Structure 1
Amino acid sequence: MAKPKADNRARFLQKFTMAGPNDCWLWTGKTINSGYGYFWVEGTKHMTAHRYAFLQAYGYLPTVVRHSCDVKLCVNPAHLLPGTSKDNSQDMASRHRMGGGNVKLTAAQVEEIRRRFVSGSHGRGGNRRQLALEFGVDSKHIWRIATGRAGDYRITDPKRGVA
């Protein structure tokens, strides 16, 4: 006889770290290549974790679920907003998140990331997520910065202008 599947809501609650009501609640479960949390619903379909959190909190799914905090791993319903693709694009443009190359960090921030970076296997055991949250960039950017990959961020320094 097949083992009964755990309740979706109970499983979901085990896959993120709940902090204060105004803090980001970071997804610790599986992620997809774009950096969003990934959740298996009802054992048969997948959904990004922030969309599932929105559905559970508000009872419906808009076309797009946006993050007011700009943290892809955040599932705090207080940070999630309904919207359209146009709203999401406007958010990205106004927050300099379009195309990866618009992420702006100072030279000092880049050096700090490189100094503090701890490597992990496929996001496990390292500190990419924590650094990404702290510096307001995607965890992939943290890895690229720390490992010296070029072209995925722009270093700005007020003394020198854009490097």
Structure 2
Amino acid sequence: MNRSLLFIPLGIFVLMAVVFWIGLGQEDKTSLPSPLIDHPFPEFSLTVLEDSRAVTKADIVGAPALVNVWATWCPTCKQEHTFLNELASQGVRIFGINYKDNDEKAKDWLMSFGNPYIWNLSDPNGQLGLELGVYGAPETFLVDSKGIIRAKHIGDLNPKVWQTLKLQFEAME
């Protein structure tokens, strides 16, 4: 038997390893697709953090809005909070979901750092977050005037990210 034939399996393995290595660099590492894009925002009935009144999905429809999932235990949420205040001052409708958090701590946070939200849903058990497929805080959803989720951003909303999302947001108006 020819000894060079013994190197064929090694050559095939090396070729497969190179193809695999090249393929690893091709995926988009900046996005986690959401199955809820182009689907209705989930139905819910939760209380508002600020005044304990009950609200439903019907209360967020009517005009395009951002729905921001945040928590006081989230350091990145604090980082993005100043920018959310700027957006709110520019007239962007923002609703908050206080995710797996203590209501009193959340109220104190909003008193200290400002409240960019029209209102905040108290989601202490994370049930709405689960229905939205939330990985953690912060996450932001673009919701059109009919209550359809048009985009999702995982991580802090900042001026650079907003430049991309703003085009989509303005197209919904």
What TM-score range do you get, normalising by the shorter chain?
A: under 0.3
Higher helix share: 2
Q: Which has the larger radius of gyration?
A: 2
The TM-score normalised by the length of structure 1 is 0.27
